[in-house]
Chain A
Amino acid sequence: MLGTGIIKGLAVTAKNLVGSYHDPERFVTVQYPEEPAPVTEAFRNFPFLVYDAEHDPMGSLRCVACQICEKECPPQCIYIEKSKDKKPDALSKPQFYPAVFDIDASVCMSCQICVEVCPFEAIKMDQVFEIATADRFEGLLLRREQLAKSNEYYHQIHPTEAAAVDARLAEQKRVAEEKAKAAAAKAAAPKPAAATPTPSPVAKPPDESRRGQQGEGGLKPAAAPGAAAPRPPPPSA
């Protein structure tokens, strides 16, 4: 009959009108500034730098200033200055670190290419979207200190991805340790003269004061979720 559809529609809207007053579950909108807008795990924009040790963010950045991301960045929003000195990384290998690491958020297009090319799992995608500022030049130029965020934070925003990354890093560490052990054993058995430079990265005393704590405090929590993950570390690592 003509009009029955309209009556059904009127019933639906009337139900909404009454229902939305006593059932907040019906609301399809979020009162944004008071309530945070829900973001999905896969949501990602603007890169950040991962560090491992909570007490020493700048000292435990995973970035080794290899500048691959800087070269690959399509809009060229990354600016890196390599350090003059080296310090040991998580694998206790002496590495450069970024003395300056800037990302111009006004230029960044959140393409994630920097994340894909990074061989050190040092740069990851963030979930920030409230970066509005009154100063569009300085305010949107993110410095190293602003970019550095902890591995725990990374676990919070992208748990699945972060667990896989930790597993990969743990595997790398294991392989490196085995290699070092084998090399040490090999060095101990024939005792050739050329053995001196090889074991030096395993235990390097000069920088120990700077990153000594990080070896225990920084890597342990990072490796723990990877070990706790049910699946085995990816074979690619």
Chain B
Amino acid sequence: MIHAVATESAFERLPLVLRDHVTGLFPASLRDLAGGVLAILVIIALAGAVFAFLTWLERKVLGRMQNRPGPNRTGPFGLLQPIADAIKTLVKEDVVPHSADRVLHFLAPVALIVFTLLAFAVVPYGRHLVPVDLDAAVLYFFAAGAGTELAIFMAGWGSRNKYALLGAMRALAQLISYELPLLLSVVPVIMLAGTLSTTGVVAAQGGWEAGVIPHWHVLTPWGAAGFAMFFVAALAESNRSPFDLPEAESELIAGHLTEYSGFKFALFFMAEYFGMMALCGMGVTLFLGGWHAPCAFLEFIPSYVWFGLKLFALILAFMWVRGTVPRLRMDQLTRLAWKFLVPLALINLGTAAFWHLSADWTGATQLLRWTTGFILAAGPFLLLGRGLSSGLGPRTYRYAT
């Protein structure tokens, strides 16, 4: 917002113009409040619409990945499937177990939705589209995200069902395990950008090398490693496959969702998607250059379109992984976090520090900088990866003769 350049198109300012148009209807003293409420309404409406579209898209993409057509009965290309699903969940009976804690049982899905929606507040959707421009936005984002753990445990405890409780415990173990690599993979970004504000992080990734190579964090050795770790940890944090143990139907009945039905179940489902969208948005902001265009000559396309495209690509990657990788076992899950991702993330801090200190290297030393950075990022991955899979090598099967 500070460095709003003069070459801005009308489309870039379009959301601002619309907002001013709406808030202009209110008296001057209420305009700030109206602007805030408007932002909240737009976020909830857009997130809901995108959620509906994503459920359809996910089923379509997963179907195609498994050589099936996916939903194709409701409307053209099955596009009305989300509406059919919504009607189904709305008219379903809402069963509350007799001995459940009714208040907790009711509050858990609501709290989950609230916490995941809170995270949307600090994501910069475009050059002028930051709902709340906090100084400690990254901290706030992950703090709000951590609140979902409370909601999941509320669901497990309030259901008064041993499977729900066990599932919630496991979900909690998973979420806490992956909170650490998630945060540690973000720390280098904050270190190098020198700010906790998301707008600051995006601003730090502005500009291009020769007009075509953007200064995105993902295009540096530490950034690539950090992004990969962030991606894996985000998969686990949003309970996505292959880390969807909390709701593993075949193993834990449905984890903390066991006693939920009807619309409350839909709320959990919605929260999962909201969480995924928020984390993807944060990943785009921190590593993929936020709303910046990939090339200088593509800047005429409004920044929020670029953000949307990147977000969409990242969510598609999530779906791709879901369609490919089978679910991990609980011990594999925690081992991956504590023995692999956490040490890698800590080493990555050193890599980022080296990158920061070697920022003024030029000429031939530039090559040395990249080589060292690459070795620092890839070496630990190879070594730790070998240690992680040692003893598990190719299995030999012996059959009775």
Chain B binds chain A = yes
Contact A10 B69 (CB under 8 A): no
Cβ of B102 < 8 Å from any Cβ of A?
A: no
Q: Is there a chain B Cβ closer than 8 Å to A29's Cβ?
A: yes
- Within A14-41, which residues are at the interface with B (CB < 8 Å)? 14, 16-17, 19-21, 26-29, 31
Q: Contacts A10-B321, A17-B61 given; indicate if A26 touches B386 (C-beta within 8 A).
A: no
* Range, interface on chain A: 10 to 19
CA–CA, A16 and B324, complex, Å: 11
Contact of A16 with B382 at beta-carbon distance under 8 Å, contacts A2-B388, A6-B325, A9-B324 already known: no
Most buried by A among B61, B67, B323, B381: B67
Cα(A6)–Cα(B242), bound, Å: 11
A10 CA / B319 CA spacing, docked (Å): 11
Chain A residues near B321 (CB-CB < 8 A): 10
Interface residues of A in 115-149 (CB under 8 A from B): none
CB–CB B325/A14 < 8 A: no
A16 x B64 contact (CB < 8 A)? yes
Neighbouring B residues of A1 by C-beta, 8 Å: 382, 385
Of B64, B67, B69, the contact of A31 (CB 8 Å cutoff): B69
Question: Across the interface, which residues of B come within 8 angstroms of A12, CB to CB?
Answer: 324
Most buried by A among B61, B64, B320: B64
Q: Contacts A12-B324, A13-B323, A17-B61 known; A28 to B385 CB distance under 8 Å?
A: no
Question: What is the interface of chain A mostly: helix, strand, loop, or mixed?
Answer: helix
B125 to chain A, nearest CB (A): 28
Is B19 part of the binding interface, using a Cβ–Cβ cutoff of 8 Å? no
Whether, in the assembled complex, B68 has its beta carbon less than 8 Å from a beta carbon of chain A, the answer is yes
Q: Does A3 contact B (CB under 8 A)?
A: yes
B64–A3 touching, CB < 8 Å: no
Q: Are A20 and B389 within 8 A (Cβ)?
A: no
Q: CB distance A10 to B385 under 8 Å?
A: no
- A14 cross-chain contacts in B, Cβ below 8 A: 65, 320
Which residues of A are found within 8 Å of B64, using beta-carbon distances?
Answer: 16-17, 20-21
CA distance A2 to B339 in the complex (A): 14
How many angstroms from the CA of A3 to the CA of B385 in the assembled complex? 8
List, in ascending order, chain A residues with CB within 8 A of B382's CB: 1-2
Q: Judging by beta carbons under 8 Å apart, are B320 and A29 in contact?
A: no
Q: Which of B365-397 contact A (CB under 8 A)?
A: 381-382, 385-386, 388-389
A2, A3, A10, A19: the one within 8 Å of B324 (CB): A10
Point out which of A14, A17, A21, A29 has the most chain B C-beta atoms below 10 A from its C-beta: A17
Distance in Å: Cβ of A33 to nearest Cβ of chain B: 10
Question: In the complex, which of the residues B320, B381, B385 contacts A13, with contact meaning CB atoms closer than 8 Å?
Answer: B320
User: B9 contacts the other chain (Cβ, under 8 Å)?
Assistant: no
Asked if A13 and B69 make an inter-chain contact with CB atoms under 8 angstroms apart, the answer reads: no
Which single residue of chain A is at the shortest CB-CB distance from B316? A17
Most buried by B among A3, A13, A21: A13
Q: Which residues of B contact A21 (CB under 8 A)?
A: 64
| A185 → chain B closest CB, angstroms | 66
Option from B66, B388, B389 in Cβ contact (under 8 Å) with A16:
B66
Docked Cα-Cα span, A97 to B389, in Å, equals 75
Q: CA A213 – CA B255 in complex, angstroms?
A: 72
Selected contact of B385 from candidates A2, A9, A26, A29, CB within 8 Å: A2
Q: Would you give the shortest CB distance from B62 to chain A, in whole angstroms?
A: 9
Q: Is the CB of B325 within 8 A of A17?
A: no
**Chain A residues with CB below 8 A from B66, complex form:** 16, 28
Contact, CB under 8 Å: B381 / A27: no
Task: Check A26/B320 contact, CB under 8 A, given A1-B382, A6-B325, A9-B325.
Answer: no
Cα A169 to Cα B314 in complex, Å, equals 69
- Asked if A13 contacts B68 (CB within 8 A), the reply is no
Residues of B within 8 A of A20 (CB): 64, 67-69
Known contacts A2-B385, A20-B64, A21-B64, then 7 further A-B pairs from the complex at CB < 8 Å, ordered by chain A residue: A1-B385, A16-B66, A17-B61, A17-B64, A26-B67, A27-B68, A28-B66
* A→B interface (CB under 8 Å): 1-3, 6, 9-10, 12-14, 16-17, 19-21, 26-29, 31
13 contacts between A and B (CB under 8 A): A2-B389, A14-B320, A16-B64, A17-B61, A17-B64, A17-B65, A20-B64, A26-B67, A27-B67, A27-B68, A28-B66, A28-B67, A31-B72
